[in-house]
Amino acid sequence: MEYRECRTCAEYLPIEAFYIYHNEKTGNTRLGNPDCKECDRANTRRKSAEQKGNVGSERVGIKPNTYVDENQKKQTFEFLKLMGWKFNEERGIWYDDIKKTSDGIFVGVWSPKQKIRPKLVFTESNPPKIKFKNERKADLPSEELVNKIVFDYYVNNIRIKDLAVKYNVNSNTIQTYTKYLYNQEMAKRRKPDIIPINKTLLKRKKHFKKELPKIIPTVVLSKDKVMFTPEIIKQVQYDYFMGDLKFYEVVQKYADFDAKTVAYIIRKTLTVIKLNKDADKN
């Protein structure tokens, strides 16, 4: 049996007690570390403990300007001062007079305005009502049940989770119908904003070098997208292909619906138009 001397403990140990490096190309074998495995692990733990002691605990305080130990505070202060930041003793905050003032006010940073969704007001004399054009499947709530649910939601102000228990209907399904009614009412308030086709618009629409399609193809969505009625889908298409709105402008306009689905409607329409053109050429 082959033995080697450990650099740290100075004991002669079997070769298996060391990390061995084997070169597959040359077939040679050598020690990967002059320390045995036990000594190498002990050295690693010791170095890790020393590093933690220098920078402080790995735990951090919940509130700003709170530290677990003095080493953590010392290292934090040294690092931020090297970065050019200053510390306001009275307020307990860091600032650099470039991005942030000594009063804690950020410079050149704006907060987006919170979007306020218009509130729908229904009463018993003017109840919310959903009318389905097609017949309902057996596994879906009936039209009568759906209208009872939206009535309780908008008129009686019953929460969705309570409605799910009351009518034994999945809460996601209830949320879909309440959102569908909301989007339906919002669509009535919007104007199509259809602008006649002109040469300037033709130049902007890079997808069509010569002319826009005379007939906008119909796009059908999956059955779970019940809030997108054929009228709403057609209105999205008109806003992009006939109106003077860019792609992101159309998506923003219908942000109350589902931005991903609105983007899908436009892309799907472009695909169908391209397929129709290729078919006409052949």
- Count of beta carbons in the 10 Å neighbourhood of residue 209: 8
Distance, CA of 127 to CA of 6 (rounded, Å): 86
Rounded to the nearest angstrom, the gap between the alpha carbon of residue 20 and the centroid of all alpha carbons in its chain is 47
Distance, CA of 96 to CA of 107 (rounded, Å): 10
**Residue 13 corresponds to which amino acid?**
L
Provide the residue-wise pLDDT of the chain in tens; the chain has 282 residues: 678 888 888 888 888 888 888 777 777 778 888 899 999 988 887 876 666 556 666 667 777 888 877 878 888 898 888 888 999 988 888 998 888 888 888 877 666 666 667 778 888 888 888 888 777 777 888 889 999 999 999 999 999 999 999 999 999 989 888 888 888 787 776 654 443 444 444 444 544 444 555 677 888 887 777 677 888 888 888 888 777 677 778 877 877 777 788 888 888 888 887 777 766 666
DSSP at 53 = H
Q: How far apart are the first and last CA of the chain?
A: 81
Residues written for the chain: 282
Report the DSSP pairing between strands 93-95 and 86-88. Answer: antiparallel
Q: Record the pTM.
A: 0.35
H-assigned helices in 35-141: 37-55, 70-82
